[in-house]
Chains A and B, each alone.
Chain A
Amino acid sequence: MESEALLSVRELRIAFDGVEAVRGLSFDVRPREVLAIVGESGAGKSLTARALLGMLPRGATTSGTISPDLSAHRGRRISLVPQDALSALSPVHRVGDQLAAAARSVAGISRTEARARAVAALDRVGIPDAARKARAYPHEYSGGMRQRAVIAMATINEPDLVVADEPTTALDEERRDRVLRLLGEQREAVGAALVLVTHDMDAVRGHADRVLVMYAGRLTELGPADEVLARPRAPYTAGLLASLPQNATGRRLPALRGTPPAPGTLTPGCAFAPRCPLAADACHTAEPEPRQVSGRLVACHRWEELPHPATELFLKEGQPA
């Protein structure tokens, strides 16, 4: 297990002014896999992704280990697909030149060779007439083409790991699936692993090999994506899935009471306990550690009590909080 990991994160903690936003997180990224990190606001998913890239905001203090440290090879072994494709591209440089600069930044190649690679990369992501489009500026691209260009840039140096931070947040379903498919294909083509950060549980379906569900800076559940989606073992995962409108059967949606906690406002015990329909006394005193449950990791004192399906459990919770 350990030896086959591309990257191992152990006991990662990220704090701002003494307030921990990521609170002891351990997971591996395997070579060529797609690992989705799912969580809501304040879960620490984007901070975790930024830590992999060595791009944490100023003022962050960290502990724990990330090995190997790919951030020393950013642009070559690890790259980022950011949320906003427009602001990721310079408006005053031609798209092809920006890709060529990315290629030249790590490989000792000539300008001509870099330019050829840029055109090839644009062609690979399906930009029509790539040689001509390489000479255009970002404003001459449509939104979808810009997204493609950014993905081409992230994969041009054939990295080991691509980190995509909410790449589809502002997109409708159709466009979301198109971008995720393209990301998956490109990852496959260059042999990279992909860490896909998203708040959208539905985006995981069909686009990820494994899923890491985070809540309040910690691991809630980690396992094969199709198994977690089919039968969640942690109440938080079950509640998130049950509340998706695409899974609804009646007019009332199953819902979670309350809201995700902000960092620094945590009560003792399990961070999810105040919202959990299964919470018992133990949940309010001790924070559960991740443990092995049928081929996955689950951090919950009461996972054995979780019914399947859990819809009824959360339908009762559907009252306003």
Chain B
Amino acid sequence: MTDPLLDVRDLVVRYGPVTAVDGVSFTLAAGETLALNGPSGCGKSSTALAVLQLPRPAAGEVHFEGRELTSLTERELRPLRPRMQPVFQDPYGSLSPRHRIRDAIAEPLKVQGRWHPADGPARVAELLDRVGLDPAYGDRRPHELSGGQCQRAGIARALASEPRLLVLDEPVSSLDPSVRAGVLNLLADLQDDLGLGYLFICHDRAVVRHFADRVVEMREGRVGVTSG
């Protein structure tokens, strides 16, 4: 058996005296969707952020592509960060309102030193096309897009780093029902084509049942039942 993409063991997250996540363990394979499900306040978002080392967990291990992340320094983590990318609930809040969409997507390429003026713009256009947006939308700013379009732009920005793992924190929860299905289809297509692993945070059971391969039920910072 090959190593899982992500292997989380006994994860603990504390905010001051409050223990938000108390010994959570799970694994996630490439090309698989694992959902964290549970009521608000159960620690599912805290778990997801701790996997990304944002912030560092108080205890436990996070193995990602065979590296143990909690023991690495920030400098050692830096080359790994592009390979695990978040997509958040509020599409407007996750893109700078002052930047055009194409600059928001180009930014990770520039930060990672992978921006080449010759083919950079074409790469951005390709990413926009990949998420179902006309490349002309690159000229717009977030407030000029609908919620669904903006979420697609956020996904394009995450893809720019060529990740292996997407941490999707309620990615369709603020979208209109008629728009939600299109974004879920896009995520399914991207996973099929690119073999991405998805850590999928969602409180909507119907969406989880449809979209996830396996489900970790969380209650008060702990794992209840794992199914699927």
Contacts and interface: CB of A to CB of B under 8 A. Distances in A.
Interface of A: 40-41, 170, 172-175, 199-202, 239-240, 243-246, 248, 251-257, 259-260, 275, 318-321
B206 A255 contact: no
Interface stretch (B6-14, B77-85, B159-167, B175-183): B175-183
B125 interface: no
A254 B181 contact: yes
A172 B209 contact: no
Interface string B156-194: 000000000000000000001111111011101000000
B129 to A, nearest CB: 9
Q: How large is the interface on B (under 10, 10 to 19, 20 to 34, 35 or more residues)?
A: 20 to 34
B180 A243 contact: yes
A202 B205 CA distance: 12
Contacts of B131: 320
Nearest to B186: A320
A255 B211 contact: no
B200 to A, nearest CB: 13
B149 interface: yes
B165 to A, nearest CB: 20
A201 B181 CA distance: 14
Contact of B205 (A172, A248, A260): A172
Interface of B: 39-40, 131-133, 146-149, 152, 176-182, 184-186, 188, 203-207, 209-211
Contacts of A239: 178
Contacts of B209: 245-246
The 7 closest A-B CB pairs, nearest first, are A320-B132, A245-B210, A243-B181, A255-B181, A253-B181, A259-B146, A40-B176
A-side binding surface: helix, strand, loop or mixed? Answer: loop
A292 B28 CA distance: 53
Contacts of B203: 172
B220 to A, nearest CB: 14
Given A202-B206, A244-B206, A245-B209, A252 B188 contact: yes
B39 A199 contact: no
Given A172-B203, A320-B131, A253 B178 contact: no
B185 A253 contact: yes
B181 A173 contact: no
A240 B152 contact: no
Given A40-B176, A245-B210, A255-B178, 8 more contacts: A199-B176, A245-B181, A245-B184, A245-B211, A253-B210, A259-B178, A319-B132, A320-B182
Contacts of B206: 173, 202, 244-246
Contacts of B210: 245-246, 248, 253
A277 B149 CA distance: 20
Nearest to B179: A259
A321 B203 CA distance: 26
Contacts of A259: 146-149, 176, 178-179
A243 B177 contact: yes
Nearest to B174: A41
Given A240-B177, A243-B180, A320 B185 contact: yes
Contacts of A173: 204-206
23 contacts: A41-B147, A41-B176, A172-B39, A173-B205, A174-B205, A199-B177, A200-B177, A244-B206, A245-B181, A245-B206, A245-B209, A248-B210, A252-B185, A253-B184, A254-B181, A256-B178, A256-B182, A259-B178, A318-B181, A318-B185, A320-B133, A320-B182, A321-B132
B177 A244 contact: yes
Contacts of A256: 178-179, 181-182
Given A173-B205, A202-B206, A245-B210, A318 B176 contact: no
B182 A321 contact: yes
Nearest to A314: B181
Nearest to A242: B181
A260 B182 contact: no
